Amino acid sequence: MIWLPDIILYNKLVFRTFSLPFVMPTWEPPVVYHSFCTMNIEWYPYDIQQCELKFGSWTYSGTQLDLMHLLSDDVKYVLRKNESEWDVERGVDVSAYQESVEWDLLSILGTRHEKWYPCCDY
């Protein structure tokens, strides 16, 4: 059996909850995520939109789950509160990206932030 963590998109558009008497974990990539993004069109058509996708786990802490970027050579480690945070300029694979006639994709950044809670020792 392969262990596959529950990595989810926290700010997804629709939350569906259900309970089953027997739950079998599944991993089903590739996936299409639907998220929301607050638009600022004050300078339309010269506006720039910035949307955030926030991924994480509900059941595993940072000591149990270590998220790393696939393109580890492009990662720039930054010192913030701890040494486990990083930035990367090419945040996702866009090899299958289809250009739009309505807008341009300028950049995709990836950043790792660990959330530390004072209540809990990890």
By CB atoms closer than 10 A (0-12, 13-18, 19+), residue 91 is middle
Residue 122 and residue 117: Cα distance in Å, rounded? 9
pLDDT digits (tens, 9 = 90+) for 93-103: 677 778 888 88
With beta carbons less than 8 A apart as the criterion, state whether 56 and 10 touch.
yes
With beta carbons less than 8 A apart as the criterion, state whether 48 and 104 touch.
no
pLDDT digits (tens, 9 = 90+) for 47-89: 888 888 888 887 877 777 776 666 656 556 555 555 556 566 6
